[in-house]
Structure 1
Amino acid sequence: MLSYSSYTLTAVAALLVTCCALPECPGIPEPPGTPGLPGKDGLKGQERLTGLTRPSGNFLGPLRRDRLPWSQGVPVSLDSELHNVLVNLKPRLCRLEGVLALNEKIKVGGEKIFASNGKEVDFASALKSCEEAGGTLATPMNEEENKAIMGIVKQYNRYAYLGFTESRVSGQFQYLNGVPLNYTKWHNYEPNGKGTEKCVEMYTDGSWNDKKCNMRRLTICEF
């Protein structure tokens, strides 16, 4: 049996994804009613969780019902207490997001949050730093996300690596999971590395250039 603190940490992790990854801070799902009994909306506890998922911009995948804190046999008394914790944490976390954005510590683009530690390292080191922080290397998938990343690049006035790599076909690039790009912002006449430049950097104007992976570029992560 997990401890109460473990349940709390699990709940907070779920909240960080469903609240702080979105600028509008959507509502928190209500906890289910007493197991086996209908809640106020007439649905049983597990039925009320059907279809709950994390934001699509996050790579953690769907929230599985069997991993939610109240689906693991939490007593009703603790279930209500956890819900109160979430309700109180939500506005605090969203205010914190606002403070970080105001101080230009983060940029919000769609359902993603982008941030930099200000360090310039090679591609592999940048990716490792982002993954250790619980995110991945900044990977713009539309114009809004590209502009958010560009804001950080311009703030530091340094080029930054993006979360793309060259595929087995010379001159064609893909996401880190091997899927071909569905959005691009190449600079004029780029990419032109012809197999020798397997990574991608962003210029201060937001355009992209293929580049060797061993150069030192700004680390920007997405969460």
Structure 2
Amino acid sequence: MLSYSSYMLTAVAALLVTCHALRKCPGIPGLPGVPGLPGRDGLKGQPRLPGLIGPSGNLMGPPGRDGLPWPQGLPDSLDAELHNVLVNLKHRLSRLEGVLALNGKIREVGEKILASNGKEVDFASALESCEEAGGTLATPMNEEENKAILGIVKQYNRYAYLGIKEGETSGQFKYINGTPLNYTKWHQYEPNGKGTEKCVEMYTDGSWNDEKCNLYRLTICEF
């Protein structure tokens, strides 16, 4: 026959296994120590540590290095709802891009989206308009991007400023973020401004020319 202490240990062990499987029962306080058997010193058993109780009454996971319990993830219902919202938003954005592209409002090339407001302004105003919209002036970094920008230039039949300017050294042009050019499409005998033409425009054949920054040119932005 099981002793009282053995019976209690067996019952609590079974309860803990059930709680762990269902994850619905409150934390279990620690059991008191099992009294020691009578002996010469009459020592009693050491008390057991109390069980951990979670904020909602569930058993908590093991503490982290700072002594706090491990964080719990989002409930399945919220996680699924957030996923559905993101999928729907991505779908709607994709449809909007398709409509704008079909109407000739935007052009996609690689990871970039190109767009123009059709306005002709000086370089500083063109750059400001693009930055206010969350982008910057169109900056071709390869032949494919240059052709995409050229498509908009031909659409409006206007020269356009590019996101390129002359640096401190005469004849040395850089991207407007200050990095050196890794691609160029200069027209024959260009650039030839020798420090007096610090901005760059695109001709209607896709080639580049250094030009003054106060002339009015088509605004083309990239995002």
TM-score category, normalised to shorter length: 0.5 to 0.7
d(CA) in 2 for partners of 1:132 and 1:110? 23
Q: Secondary structure at the match of 1:162?
A: strand
d(CA) in 2 for partners of 1:126 and 1:213? 10
State the shift of 1:78 in Å. 3.6
Q: Secondary structure at the match of 2:140?
A: coil
Look up the match of 2:173: 173
Look up the match of 1:195: 195
CA RMSD of aligned residues (A): 1.7
Q: Secondary structure at the match of 1:85?
A: helix
Look up the match of 1:210: 210
Q: Counterparts of 1:123-142 in structure 2 under 5 Å?
A: 123-142=123-142
Q: Which amino acid aligns with 2:221?
A: C
TM-score normalised to structure 2 length? 0.65
Q: Which amino acid aligns with 1:133?
A: A
d(CA) in 2 for partners of 1:200 and 1:112? 20
Q: Which amino acid aligns with 1:184?
A: T
Moved over 3 A (4+): 73-79
Look up the match of 1:12: none
Instruction: Show structure 2 runs of 5+ residues with no match.
Output: 1-60, 62-71
Larger Rg: 2
State the shift of 1:74 in Å. 8.7
d(CA) in 2 for partners of 1:158 and 1:114? 16
Q: Counterparts of 1:56-71 in structure 2 under 5 Å?
A: none
Distance 1:180 1:91, change over 3 A: same
Q: Secondary structure at the match of 2:162?
A: strand
1:4-36 deviation line (CA, Å, top 9, x unaligned): xxxxxxxxxxxxxxxxxxxxxxxxxxxxxxxxx
State the shift of 1:89 in Å. 1.7
Q: Counterparts of 1:76-95 in structure 2 under 5 Å?
A: 76=75, 77-95=77-95
- The number of residue pairs the alignment matches comes to 152
d(CA) in 1 for partners of 2:90 and 2:163? 30
Q: Which amino acid aligns with 2:99?
A: V
Look up the match of 1:32: none
Q: Which amino acid aligns with 2:192?
A: N
State the shift of 1:176 in Å. 1.0
d(CA) in 1 for partners of 2:211 and 2:138? 16
